Amino acid sequence: MLLEQMRELRDADGNWREGRTWSLVYYADEEHYDFLKEAHNTFFSENGLNPMVFKSLRRMESEVVRMSAEMLHGDGDVVGTMTSGGTESILMAVKAARERFRKKRFIFNGQPELVVPESIHVAFGKAAHYFGLKVRYVPLRDDFRVDVDALKRAVNRNTALIAASAPQYAHGVIDPIEEIGAFAQREDIPFHVDACFGGFFLPWMEKLGYDLPPFDFRVPGVTSISADVHKYGYAAKGASVVLYRNMSYLKHQFYISTDWPGGIYPSPSAAGTRPGGPIAAAWAAMKAMGEDGYLKLTRTTMEAVEALQSGVRRIEGLKVLGSTDGPMVCVAADGPEVDIYAVVDQLNAKGWNLDRQQNPNSFHLSVTANHLQAVPAFLEDLQQAVEHVRAHPELKSEGQAAMYGMIAKIPFRGAVKFSVQKIMEGMYGPDGKVPDLGGEATEDDDLIMQLMDKYGDKAMGILEKLESSREVIKDALSWKK
């Protein structure tokens, strides 16, 4: 049977039910999981594209937006829409800011710009790529929060939007939202808070007594917020919200076509068809959980976070980076004798799935209440992995550790981009094969690295045009700069 074959394929996926996958899935328990499937499937065929036809979806979306706004201390004027996820929410916030900027600034020089921390989610770079904005990345302080003085210097007359994180995903810290908000309000520049990761968690942390800096609509300069319901809102995948302080911002998100032969076409977000299942499941999750349910899950999650942090600090050779403002733990090596990527290789071999990070090299754990059961086993395996890597330093030049270590040291990011481009072409090509990331370097690899060394990121254009032709690359190496 096809369904049985599908279940067999799933057996090779990451084990998230037992807490061995530390990102991507946000699982409360089996009862809630079954409840979400039923809520989702009840609206499996409905389409939110036309809210006049499916009034049920419109009502549920409206209530999800209102509940989210109240959770994030918005007043009665706060408005918004649901989206398919955090990336779409961010795309919509950037698109709205660009449209608002164009209408307010009839004449300006250059592209509209985003001013964001280096740690901001990559969706902002994607949005700028799609919508034709320039991004000014601002450096971080030693505590991984954005340098506000540098941010102020980066703002200019073409700035369409300032953004910051609550918390940022990589290191789990909240940027100085109050300070940035005061500046943005004074300069009359929209300020977006990316709370996709923490929007449905930080409010409950506060209610449990954790001391967090203001990050939401309590800060007057904040004009929009993104928050993912399918993360710590424990909804089904495909559910996020983007909220605006009032309609004067949201109206720039809409797309309306009046001349299409198919009729007048209004669209509130990027999607055309808007699947009813995620909308219904988000509404059901929030109604079913309620404040008591979210507080219970948050309490258990923080118990797991604190146990992980304490356990990591007891392991010689490791340290915790950031990880002060939310449900995540970032771990790095505390000295050159431990290669953190080799440690992750060892953990992968034992069935753990973790996110590798760079600048600095580290790994990331997105922690949920479900992970509490796995903490003792994870810390034991982590301790053994560190001891094994310390005893076998050659491991840093093998497996994925070698690949990640090499990429982290390549001075030209164009070389990394080219390699990843080829991996993507392989995965999404006719054969759908995932390239082998290990193995010995080929002659082509060596030629490409020589080209990158000579021309830097400018070599990307050569590589894209020549498609790694060995002979032509050899010719290119003989050219004068």
| CA dist., res. 93 & res. 132, Å (int) | 14
For Cα atoms 153, 106, 152, give the angle at the middle one, nearest 5 degrees: 10
Handedness of CA 177, 179, 182, 183 (dihedral sign): negative
Is pLDDT above 70 for 55? yes
In this prediction, residue 1 has a pLDDT band, given cuts at 50, 70 and 90, of confident
Rounded distance, CA 278 to CA 83, Å? 9
Nearest to 118 by CA among 186, 65, 171: 171
428-446 exposure pattern, b = at least 16 Cβ within 10 A, e = fewer:
eeeeeeeeeeeeeeeeeee
The stretch 141-170 carries a mean pLDDT of: 97
203-231 mean pLDDT:
97
Q: Is 170 exposed, middle or buried (0-12, 13-18, 19+ CB in 10 A)?
A: buried
- Cβ neighbors of 444 (< 8 A, separation 6 or more) are 468, 470
Question: Where along the chain do its domains lie?
Answer: 30-287, 290-401, 410-478
Helix (H) or strand (E) holding 116: strand 113-117
Would you place residue 403 in the very low, low, confident or very high pLDDT band (cuts 50, 70, 90)?
A: low
Residue 467: per-residue pLDDT: 52
Can you give the pLDDT at residue 428? 55
Helical spans, DSSP H, in 105-217: 123-131, 148-154, 177-187, 202-207
Q: Which superfamily is assigned to 290-401 in CATH?
A: Aspartate Aminotransferase, domain 1 (3.90.1150.10)
Considering the domain 30-287 in this protein, what is its CATH number? 3.40.640.10
Q: Which residues contact 376 (CB under 8 A, 6 or more apart)?
A: none
Cis, bond preceding 213 (omega within 30 deg of 0): no
Residue corresponding to tokens 């939007």:
161
The gap between the terminal CA atoms of the chain, to the nearest Å, is 61
69-107 pLDDT per residue, tens:
999 999 999 999 999 999 999 999 999 999 999 988 765
pLDDT above 90: percentage of residues in the chain:
71
What average pLDDT score do residues 188-192 get?
97
Which range has the worst mean pLDDT, 156-160, 363-367, 444-448?
444-448
- Both tokens of 345, joined, read 């290789």
Residue 362 has phi, psi (to 5 degrees) of -170, 175
> What CA–CA distance (Å, rounded) separates 276 from 82?
11
Among the residue ranges 2-16, 127-141, 209-223, 430-444, the one predicted with the least confidence is 430-444
DSSP 469: -
pLDDT at position 241 = 98
Region 147-151 average pLDDT: 98
Name the token pair of 379: 């810390």
What does the pLDDT look like over 236-293, one tens digit per residue? 999 999 999 999 999 999 998 888 899 888 888 989 889 999 999 999 999 999 999 9
Backbone angles phi, psi at 213, to 5 degrees: -70, 150
**Rounded mean pLDDT of 294-308?**
98
Residue 131 clears pLDDT 60, i.e. is over it: yes
Residue-wise pLDDT for 413-440, tens only, equals 555 565 666 666 665 566 666 555 444 4
Mean of the pLDDT values across residues 300-325?
96
- Cis peptide leading into residue 411 (ω within 30°): no
pLDDT at 78: 96
How far is residue 84's CA from residue 168's CA, in Å, rounded to a whole number?
20
CB under 8 Å to 397, separation ≥6 — which residues?
405
Higher pLDDT residue, 12 or 310?
310
- Segment 337-351 mean pLDDT: 94
> What is the pLDDT at residue 12?
86
Rg of the chain on CA atoms, in Å: 24
How far apart CA 306 and CA 323 sit, in angstroms, is: 10
Cα–Cα distance for residue pair 135/97, rounded to 1 Å: 13
pLDDT band at 447 (very low <50, low <70, confident <90, very high): low
Least confident window among 130-139, 189-198, 431-440: 431-440
Residue 439: the pLDDT is 47
**Which among 163, 35, 54, 33 has a CA at the least distance from the CA of 98?**
163
Chain-centroid distance of CA 17 in Å reads 22
As a whole number of angstroms, the distance between CA 254 and CA 239 comes to 18
Closest by alpha carbon to 364, among 312, 406, 413? 312
State residue 91's pLDDT score.
98
Find the largest Cα–Cα distance for the chain: 70
Read off the pLDDT of each residue in 361-372 and give the average, rounded to a whole number. 96
Work out the angle at residue 100's Cα, subtended by the Cα atoms of residues 99 and 103, and round it to the nearest 5 degrees: 90
Token digits for 65?
Answer: 């937006």
In the predicted model, is pLDDT for residue 398 greater than 90?
Answer: no
The C-alpha atoms of residue 455 and residue 470 are separated, in whole angstroms, by 16
Residue 211 has a pLDDT of 95
Q: What is the mean pLDDT of the chain?
A: 88
As a whole number, mean pLDDT of residues 3-19 equals 90
Q: DSSP labels for 50-112?
A: -TTT-HHHHHHHHHHHHHHHHHTT--TT-EEEEESSHHHHHHHHHHHHHHHHHHH-SS-SS--
Average pLDDT value for residue range 32-57: 91
